[in-house]
Amino acid sequence: EAGVTQFPSHSVIEKGQTVTLRCDPISGHDNLYWYRRVMGKEIKFLLHFVKESKQDESGMPNNRFLAERTGGTYSTLKVQPAELEDSGVYFCASSQDRPIYEQYFGPGTRLTVT
Amino acid sequence: GEDVEQSLFLSVREGDSSVINCTYTDSSSTYLYWYKQEPGAGLQLLTYIFSNMDMKQDQRLTVLLNKKDKHLSLRIADTQTGDSAIYFCAEGDYGGATNKLIFGTGTLLAVQP
């Protein structure tokens, strides 16, 4: 069974540009989460989808970040316009409904904003 | 507020036991986790413990939970060079509307041959 996949693995963009990150969860997992780790700090929660609905987006830093999950399968996280402080590693995770507490993470996308 | 703290670095010799410690603040946490991140890889779910348990053992891994002190530890027996990685402690609360994990900053485990 394929794990959580993320694309791209690494992205380098200039300040002010737009970047879209993609996450494909494990097949059959209704729950999809985005997290990020900035500057070697702790990994912080961004948001949680249940199928195509946003269950919790309390961790989204500001309105430059837009997450979508059309059709309840893969998800995209768009940053527009990117700022220097957005640099970091963006992780996606997924879990089943039962047990919901087992979150499986992807390899992450390293975003560098110059 | 919610906070998870870990020491940043631990160095051990191959064959010794490693103990990685973590403290958390959210008393409503229902699950506590250890994730492992090897260089260039993603986060691997290593093990987790339900908050009404004191201990969980899985092969070379032993998780101890002291709920009174909000202290979690991961013991790795017979540590190998392949255990060198960053270990993240995390707490999760699945009783409410959110299922987010709160992570610590990670502990870098360096295993010396």
What is the SS3 assignment for A84? helix
Query: Do the beta carbons of residue A47 and residue A92 sit within 8 Å?
Result: no
- Which of A4, A44, A48 is facing B99, going by the closest CB pair? A48
Q: In the prediction, which pLDDT does B18 show?
A: 97
Name the average pLDDT for chain A.
94
Question: How much of chain A, in percent, has pLDDT values that exceed 90?
Answer: 86
- pLDDT at position B26, please? 79
Q: How far is B9 from chain A (nearest CA, A)?
A: 13
Q: How far, in whole angstroms, is CA B29 from its chain's centroid?
A: 14
Tens digit of each residue's pLDDT (9 = 90 or more) over B13-60 = 999 999 999 999 877 778 899 999 998 888 999 999 998 899 999 999
pLDDT for the residue numbered B78:
97
Cβ contacts (< 8 Å) between A2 and chain B: which residues?
none
Q: Looking at the complex, does the CB of residue B88 fall below 8 Å from at least one CB of chain A?
A: yes
The answer on pLDDT for B96 being more than 70 is no
Side chain identity at residue B26, one-letter code: D
Contact A58 B106 (CB under 8 A): no
pLDDT for A97: 78
- Per the CB < 8 Å rule, is A106 touching B42? yes
